Amino acid sequence: MKPMNAMEMYFIALVAQEEIDQQVIKWKNFMKEKFGCMVALRSPAHITLIPPFWMEAELENELIQSLDEFSNLQNQVFIQLKNFSNFKPGVLFVDVLKNEQLDLLRADLEDYLLRQEKFPLKKEVRPFHPHITIATRDLYKKAFFEAWDIFQNKKYEAVWQAKGVSALRHNKKNWDVIHTSQLSS
């Protein structure tokens, strides 16, 4: 049982299906072995919809209920992954092809949660650039360019039907999927 008013960190994402997650884990492990990058290994392969935020644990059930209500009214989203890209000089990722349905899902979810005024969220000001991270905060500049040389010409394509929106909670070490709200068919 968590103490009242305990703060936990959460984020909301589309978690990739198992086959994609397993492939991404191989690349994350490669980055760990070659460059010492471990941060990306702390979460499953995913596309972030709502970035990490701190929230009182007692609101968790309300967050899950809100995700269920929102997802019930949304269609599943077709996701296409193609090759690799980066945010210089410290993030490598599998690129997600531009997708208006995904953009709308993210924007509608953010608006839906903000309108409820229950959760400590802020309107995202950065542009939405969906991706699946392979290496992030612990990929340092010198290693970044070496790693990008390896990934920039690597080919990868996959597709998946995102069937649910997941809430993830940080357990002080890794991110755990605590609930997945099913999208309508």
**Distances from the Cα of 96 to the Cα of 86, 133, 148, 165, 176, angstroms:** 12, 11, 17, 17, 23
Domains of the chain: 7-182 (3.90.1140.10)
Contact 97, 153 (CB under 8 A): no
Contact 63, 9 (CB under 8 A): no
For the segment 154-183, the average pLDDT, to the nearest whole number, is 97
b/e per residue 107-135 (b: at least 16 CB within 10 A): eebbebbeeeeebebeeeeeeeebbbbbb
CA atoms within 13 A on the CB side of 131: 18
For the segment 140-165, the average pLDDT, to the nearest whole number, is 95
Q: Which tokens belong to 65? A: 């209920």
Q: What is the pLDDT of residue 130?
A: 97
Q: What is the pLDDT of residue 4?
A: 55
Mean pLDDT computed over every residue of the chain:
95
What pTM was estimated for this model as a whole?
A: 0.94
Q: Is the pLDDT of residue 176 over 60?
A: yes
Dihedral over alpha carbons 56, 62, 67, 72 (to 10 degrees) = 180
What's the start-to-end Cα distance of the chain, in Å?
36
pLDDT tens digits, one per residue of 95-143: 999 999 999 999 999 999 999 999 999 999 999 999 999 999 899 998 9
CA atoms within 13 A on the CB side of 20: 27
Q: What is the pLDDT of residue 3?
A: 53
- How many residues are listed for the chain in this entry? 185
pLDDT tens digits, one per residue of 28-67: 999 999 999 999 999 999 999 999 999 999 999 999 999 9
